[in-house]
Amino acid sequence: MLVVGNWKMNTSHAEAIALAADVVRETEGIAGKAGVGVCPPFVWLDAVAERVRGTQVALGAQNVAAEASGAFTGETSAPMLSDLGCTYAIVGHSERRALFGETDADVAARARGAMAHGLVPIVCVGETLEERKSGDAEAVVRRQLEGSLDGLDVASDDALVIAYEPVWAIGTGETASPEQAQDMHATIRAALRQRLGDLASGVQILYGGSVKPGNAATLFAQEDVDGGLVGGASLDAAGFAAIVRAAAEAA
């Protein structure tokens, strides 16, 4: 089980340091039973790295460049993130796809860039409300998954994480039912099995769509739900720790 907090574009410098320290304290003793990560804004990565270094809380970035270096103003490379102590890099988050026009090919390139330098890409996929209502949700997610993993050489089951985030449930207060989450996670697992063979059984598939302390346990009880990519609830250390505790109990 794995729980990763995506802080998005939130927190001041002081707030990020305090939140990181609180997450370390609140998850002490339970972080070893479920993997825990935090993804602060890029400008606070170094400060947060200092607070989580030597603890069981891993550091992640909210995006990563496809290229290792060069004239790419505004981008941050995998070697830079690795040098800071990052373990994870989120790629293909629905906000990056919808607001910044990132395509499956872009996501695949970023994932390859991350993996080439020892980072674990958290590859996000998920359908909109319109796509779900039209009955296209499964086809959309399969297509996104196939495109976003193009050219990716996955050598072990811990080298890749998938996050299913139904777009209609992100920041809306709506959550996929446990049954809906399990159905899509099973679809993703089957697609991974076609691509990765036996490795697919060990790849962690996280649910990301308004995960909260109140619904985490029922979501994590599903067979193919291996934890959560947590947005708003990750900005409260006590609530985030409650989600981690649910993951540890499910594990």
- Is the predicted pLDDT of residue 45 greater than 80, yes or no? yes
Q: What is the pLDDT of residue 193?
A: 97
Residue list, annotated binding site for substrate: 6-8, 171, 210, 231-232
Polymer length of the chain: 251
Selecting among 127, 131, 165, 185, the annotated active-site residue is 165
Q: Is 93 in the active site?
A: yes
Q: What is the pLDDT of residue 247?
A: 98
Check if the beta carbon of residue 121 is closer than 8 Å to that of residue 158. Answer: no
Q: How far apart are CA 241 and CA 251, in angstroms?
A: 15
Residue list, annotated binding site: 6-8, 171, 210, 231-232
Residue 107: CATH number of its domain: 3.20.20.70
Domain that holds residue 205: 2-250
For residue 249, CA distances in Å to 2, 114, 118, 218 come to: 12, 31, 29, 11
Q: Strand ranges (DSSP E) for 29-85?
A: 35-39, 57-61
Alpha helix segments (H runs only) across 172-231: 178-196, 213-220
Instruction: Work out how many domains the chain is built from and give that number.
Output: 1
Report the Cα 141 to chain-centroid distance in Å. 16
- Is the predicted pLDDT of residue 171 greater than 90, yes or no? no
Select from 162, 116, 200, 176 the least CA-distant residue to 2.
Answer: 162
Q: How far apart are CA 162 and CA 148, in angstroms?
A: 10
Phi/psi of residue 93, nearest 5 degrees: -55, 145
Select from 234, 230, 154 the least CA-distant residue to 199.
Answer: 154
Q: What is the pLDDT of residues 203-241, one digit of tens each?
A: 999 999 889 999 999 999 999 999 999 999 999 999 999
Selecting among 26, 93, 95, 185, the annotated active-site residue is 93
Q: State the pLDDT confidence band at 84, using cuts at 50, 70 and 90.
A: very high
Q: What is the pLDDT of residue 227?
A: 98
Alpha helix segments (H runs only) across the chain: 13-27, 45-52, 78-84, 94-100, 104-116, 129-133, 137-148, 178-196, 213-220, 237-250
Secondary structure of residue 35 in the 3-state scheme: strand
Q: What is the pLDDT of residue 220?
A: 98
The Cα angle at residue 111 between residues 127 and 85, in degrees rounded to 5? 120
Q: How far apart are CA 135 and CA 131, in angstroms?
A: 6
0.95 exceeded by pTM: yes
Report the Cα 89 to chain-centroid distance in Å. 8
Secondary structure of residue 19 in the 3-state scheme: helix
